[in-house]
Chain A
């Protein structure tokens, strides 16, 4: 484990520094073309900014110190106290997990050692996808592929522009793309009501079509579309808000697409059994691939959720919701949901990591709690131990896996604040056991 000093720039920092090709840890798509300037006033995103990156990079950190039961202590004391709690716990819960690859490696080592449960704060959202891939497989694409190749894009029940303010600019309407066979004007279809369509503009956007159903019905509309494409005589119910003619027309467009992409973001599919909507989206892709090319693109992945599941998968064999209580990984995507366990009063310690955004707070719990958090984390209760940690890609270097599960990116140390690194803190808790 590299020590924090090894991963920090050793030299005295200049008063002012300009960083190019900065990747943003604040968005699951990890845009890495930002230019960020550091001055004595803090960080400023000077190029390729969006609301999210400005909020993330330019947030002013309040002063913060390690605390035990609300009292300021030094880091060593806080670590020692945390180790004591972990050592006592029979079933510690390692949640939150908004941290980088190194942080996840350290968490998994500690969870193994202490017989704990590992789950990310946004697992419930990711499991809308995992349940489907684990039961039916899928056909997917990645950001660069879609940017260059897609001629037809369906946004399914998801407010993509709100979640990823630069998605349309970077992926749907780039100034140019690689293949002259790709239609210069792309057709964009929104399935859902009240989705922010303002991103669907620019020289690359052709027709914009909206099928105005409730977002919860996006899966049903796609199911109808699949049935129509197979020639079944089905009609949308009146309550649906979409007419048969609209579905038929969409079917025609799908058939004529050369490389169609169905885009969804699990965080937007915030309704019961949303995995079944995902199943329809991936099923549509599967059906259409028999004759033409189609692919899915699942977005979201904020708070390093994709990194957490990737690292957990290669180290344990399972995508989160793993318990090491027996010493070996035991996977149960229902039982080992930390949100469920806390609600049901299971576990006897919560260690929560929220090193990226200030809103990723732990659920209310009576359990003893250790929080490794970014300064300014909007905690609603005083944890037994609080240790402020740096944000990867802002306060220290690190690596994250991008939302499309293929690309991972290096994150720079922009020198915002001198804060301990979550991976180092977790490793020191482990060594103090």
Chain B
């Protein structure tokens, strides 16, 4: 099967192609060298169209228990957006926490071909993968959460041999079928169970006497020495707290040369200036990260409207619960493993704080120099549901539009937005292609994804070049997945099942002995039942597993 896309303008930053007119050939699901004389089974005339690799969302909460709690919590969210079954697609519900199938369809209809769930609790891994198994169209993968689990904290507190910590991290990645590791409010989820209500970077956990700094450094080093491509994915201390820019800057400095990814930094870049003691820390954050090449970020942009926040950060979500709208927060302490907090949220442009959050996110995008180290996210659904991405892209690409929107927000926030008004930067299509494809693929170590070179997977999105970038990115003309046309004019035309990406760093199987003892002694699940075998994803969920390479393990 050979297909040909002719005459498109190609934006493929990985291969340094910027808007050149080229034909693309896809044979048996992969991009191949041009075969001008071969007879194509299908030819798509995409003259004048913008052609990019399929988009990749490196941080979107699409699967796992907390999303299903959020779905159950908010029937009112779904009621206005019913999705009817068709001959091709399943029924479901949309809006901020869509049902699984609808999530897959809508991502694909927006030109996305891969999505990564960033907060899979080991104890909830089976359900997270089952939900992702019911999310069609896109490839997927998940970051497993560590850092507030008692096994790791016991290891760290006991000053165990570092090798054992690495073995445990790698074992967990295998057991939970993960592609990366995330730490959320390092140690803080556990500390909250001991009734600590805040945990600063150098504050001791009341029971384990370890600090978030030590936790971050241990995990970041473990990831690096295990050869895992994506660096430790960090949701830092003090999320949402005015003044948290200080601990965020200190966390960046704590990397001490280790690779780190700081996630949804918008929620972690708050100063205390101004009459209301709430201000933007974006300039300070970007100034530091711009010159810290081992650190990457994603933004977690806030956009206005009803959504629902869902996080592993039970400590901070409990505190944020007083702002819940509607007023029904769910908080959980989970399995000596982690926690979660689901807090419905309505971001209002007339609210000073919400408007400042919007400003801070945009400043972060516009002040950040290196597009390879920043990813476009709303932390779906926490800052806004993912279907706001085209709107966000327009805000980044269109200064006039951005200024118009700025006129509509809370006047005090406008008054505190002198910096944003002066930022004339408009993102280019090359930069958007990096933020939404090439960058995430590189950071996650996805071989053959996120670019359009020979050997790449045939995941391709074709847009009409509309000066209204929101309209352009909302409704791609064509989306191909593995070389098959799956979306035409923004509607699914073929349903496919994506693969699950994982990594398998080496570890010493001897770790299972102390782990098994720990499970038998303390837990309510047996170790053998905790582990998620390939078979459940492949046969149970009708999926496929792609093992991405890892570097050599250091010691």
Using a CB–CB cutoff of 8 Å, the interface residues on chain A facing chain B are 1-2, 6-7, 20-21, 23, 29, 31-33, 101-102, 105, 109, 112-113, 130, 133-145, 147-149, 170-171, 176-179, 181, 258-259, 289, 292-293, 295, 309-310, 313-319, 324, 326-331, 399, 401, 405-410
In the bound complex, do residue B68 and residue A314 qualify as a contact, i.e. CB atoms below 8 Å apart?
yes
Residues of A within 8 A of B75 (CB): 134, 317-318, 331
Bound Cα distance A113, B400 (Å): 47
| Interchain CB contact (< 8 A) of A328 among B68, B85, B328, B337 | B85
Q: Interface residues, chain B, CB within 8 Å of chain A?
A: 65, 67-69, 71-73, 75, 78-79, 82-85, 90-93, 97-102, 121, 123-124, 126-127, 130-131, 134, 150, 192-195, 207, 318, 321, 324, 327-337, 342, 521-526, 528-529, 536, 539-540, 542
Q: Is the CB of B92 within 8 A of A329?
A: yes
**Across the interface, do A145 and B526 meet the contact criterion of CB distance under 8 Å?**
no
Contact of B329 among A1, A137, A143, A317 (CB under 8 A): A137
B335 touches A144 (CB 8 A): yes
Please give the distance in Å from B542's CB to the nearest CB on chain A. Answer: 7
Q: Which residue of B lies closest to A105 (CB)?
A: B134
What 7 new A-B contacts, CB under 8 Å, besides A181-B194, A406-B121, A410-B536?
A137-B328, A144-B525, A310-B127, A314-B131, A327-B85, A401-B127, A409-B525
Q: List 6 A-B contacts (CB under 8 A).
A: A133-B72, A139-B330, A143-B524, A149-B336, A316-B92, A329-B99
Residues of B within 8 A of A317 (CB): 71, 75, 78, 92-93, 97-99, 102
The distance from the CB of B362 to the nearest CB of chain A, in whole angstroms, is 31
Complex Cα–Cα for A105 and B542 (A): 12
Minimum CB distance partner of A115 in chain B: B85
Q: How far is the CA of A326 from the CA of B280 in the complex (A)?
A: 48
Among B72, B84, B334, B540, the residue within 8 A (CB) of A130 is: B72
Q: Which of B72, B124, B131, B318 neighbours the largest number of chain A CB atoms within 10 Å of its CB?
A: B72
- B135 to A, closest residue via Cβ: A314
- A33–B78 alpha-carbon span in the complex (Å): 39
State how many angstroms separate the Cβ of A290 from the closest Cβ of chain B: 10
- Asked whether B85 lies within 8 Å of A144 as measured between CB atoms, the reply is no
A20, A313, A326: the one contacting B72 at CB < 8 Å is: A313
Decide if A258 touches B195 in the complex (CB within 8 Å): yes
Q: Which residues of B contact A1 (CB under 8 A)?
A: 542
Are B85's CB and A134's CB within 8 A?
no
The 10 residue pairs across chains A and B that have the minimum distance between CB atoms: A317-B93, A328-B82, A137-B328, A327-B84, A317-B78, A21-B526, A144-B335, A143-B524, A328-B84, A317-B99
With beta carbons under 8 angstroms apart, the residue of A33, A140, A148, A309 that contacts B336 is: A148
Instruction: Specify the main secondary structure of chain A where it touches its partner.
Output: mixed
Select B91's contact among A139, A141, A176, A328, beta carbons within 8 Å: A328
Q: Decide if B318 touches A289 in the complex (CB within 8 Å).
A: yes
A407–B528 CA distance with the chains assembled, in angstroms: 14
B95 to chain A: closest residue by CB: A317
User: For residue B318, which residues in chain A have a CB less than 8 angstroms away from its CB?
Assistant: 139, 289
Which residues does chain A contribute within 8 Å of B83, judged by CB atoms?
A: 328
Contact status A133-B330, CB under 8 Å: yes
**Chain B: minimal CB distance from A375 (Å):** 25
Query: Which residues on the B side are within 8 Å of A319 (C-beta)?
Result: 72
B91 touches A329 (CB 8 A): yes
Using A137-B329, A316-B93, A406-B332 as known contacts, say yes or no to A181 and B134 having CB atoms under 8 A apart.
no
Whether B65 lies near A23 (C-beta < 8 A) is no
Alpha-carbon gap, A324 to B85, bound state (A): 9
Point out which of B91, B102, B524, B528 has the most chain A C-beta atoms below 10 A from its C-beta: B524
Give CA–CA (A258, B194) in the complex, Å: 8
A330 CA to B78 CA, complexed, in Å? 10
* Chain A residue at minimum C-beta to C-beta distance from B121: A406
Instruction: Verify B540–A315 contact, CB threshold 8 A.
Output: no
Q: Do A112 and B68 touch across chains, with their CB atoms under 8 A apart?
A: no
A314 touches B336 (CB 8 A): no
Enumerate chain A residues within 8 angstroms of B123, measured Cβ to Cβ. 142, 144, 406-407
By beta carbon, the residue of chain A nearest B67 is A314
Known: A141-B332, A406-B334. A181 touches B207 (CB 8 A): yes
Residues of B close to A143: CB separation below 8 A: 335, 524
Taking CB atoms, residues of chain A closer than 8 Å to B98 are: 317
Q: Are A144 and B523 in contact (CB under 8 A)?
A: yes
Q: Smallest Cβ distance from B77 to chain A, in angstroms?
A: 8
Given contacts A326-B84, A409-B525, contact A315 B92 (CB under 8 A): yes
- A102 near B540 with CB under 8 A, answer yes
In the complex the two chains form, is B524's CB within 8 Å of A399's CB? no
Q: How far is the CA of A181 from the CA of B85 in the complex (A)?
A: 54
Q: Complex: how many Å from CA A24 to CA B529?
A: 12
B330 near A140 (CB under 8 angstroms)? Answer: yes
- Cα–Cα, bound, A112→B83 (Å): 11
Measured between beta carbons, the chain A residues less than 8 angstroms from B130 are 101, 314, 399, 408
